[in-house]
Amino acid sequence: MADNKQGRLSIHPYIGGTTSNLIANVRKNGGIDKPQVATFVATLCGTLLTSPLRTLEATLYSGKIQKTPIKEAPVFIIGHWRSGTTHLHNVISQDKRFGYLTTLQAVFPTCSVLLSRNKSLKNLVAGLIPEKRMMDNMKMHVDFPQEEEFSVSCITTSSHHCNHFPKTIRSSFDKYVLFNVSDSEKREWKRAYMSVIKKASFMAGGRRLILKNPYNTARIKMLLELFPDAKFIHIYRNPYNIYVSALHDFIKEAEEMALQNFTEQDFAALCYELYGKLMKTYYDSRHLVPKGNLTEVAYEDLEQNPMREVARMYSELGLKLTPEANRDISSYVSSLKDYKKNKYTFSDTLAREITEKWGDFIKRLKYSIPADIGIDEKAAWTCKMDY
């Protein structure tokens, strides 16, 4: 997906979906802007080239996948973007009793079984994946855990499409994250989502899935309708960190994935809106989760003492932390000792604005302006990716 280091995507995430779904999404979300036509054409050609693989996989495996039982409800890692959901997902997935949806599955949901079982094809896909994410220093690989929202957006128009269509992000979020839609569209989303989960379960050999998806923070009610016994881990972080980190994330992702024009100002306003909607919906719905099926963790606590927090979360969810899982998680955590986080600054004006917009959440979570973000009046905010 890149020059195999930091940065640019070689393929668009839609390449693993169907041609008809790509065209339907373009029509539904306001078309393609001129600067992105080349990306769209390349992606369209990619969907046509992978069509034989989709047909073959459906012929060979669709029946087996549909018959795959979900023996245990998934464990969902939820939290706003840049709260540490990916880090926590990587940590828990070291427990080999869990299965997860991989990056290969996320990008190629319609032919991931064939791709994963053919060494040459898998290596070809691996060569397209960057070594690190475009927005930070986290490593990427075809076999690493990934969020399922990419898969869902590849196979249905009833999904929130990340930063692919900036013109309709707000309406798409309200429809397919908050589910202000008709019952038929809710059923379509459930159908698409369950098809992704069943395939992930099939490819994980029936192991219980540990899934991470920030959008699911506001989908507790819908997820419980699918999995009444689902367990949830909500990770949260200082909102001041969230704002500058999420804004940087949205912009970097849009630079690579957007099929329409956008401005930094668009995403600056969007950050405030989506955080408020996501967090409010979470707090309004978390009481629906059965007792013993929800735990919460502060990113800062996880960073400071990961093994203590992992043990606490397992205990609160009624999960057994085996010596083997404890060993593997500890080994992974130790491997991160040289990891370098992005360094951010923001202006005093922006700090006051964040306080005003998100004051209720800041107070509820008991945060203040963090010491690891500097105040610099030269710009509203900056991000230094010092690798």
The pLDDT tens digits along the chain (387 residues) read: 334 344 456 678 888 899 999 999 999 999 999 999 999 999 999 999 999 999 999 999 999 999 998 999 999 999 999 999 999 999 999 999 999 999 999 999 999 999 999 999 999 888 888 888 776 777 888 999 999 999 999 999 988 877 899 999 999 999 999 999 999 999 999 999 999 999 999 999 999 999 999 999 999 999 999 999 999 999 999 999 999 999 998 888 888 889 999 888 888 889 999 999 999 999 999 999 999 999 999 999 999 999 999 999 999 999 999 999 999 999 999 999 877 788 888 899 999 999 999 999 999 999 999 888 888 888 888 888 764
pLDDT of residue 8: 55
d(CA 149, CA 131): 21
349 three-class SS: helix
Contacts of 117 (CB under 8 A, 6+ apart): none
Q: Tokens for 159?
A: 């999904």
What is the number of H-type helices and E-type strands within the chain?
A: 17, 8
pLDDT of residue 1: 33
Q: Tokens for 131?
A: 């070594």
pLDDT of residue 161: 72
d(CA 281, CA 366): 19
- Strands 381-384 vs 343-346: parallel, antiparallel or unpaired: antiparallel
pLDDT of residue 188: 95
Architecture of the domain made up of 13-238+289-341:
3-Layer(aba) Sandwich (3.40)
d(CA 292, CA 284): 18
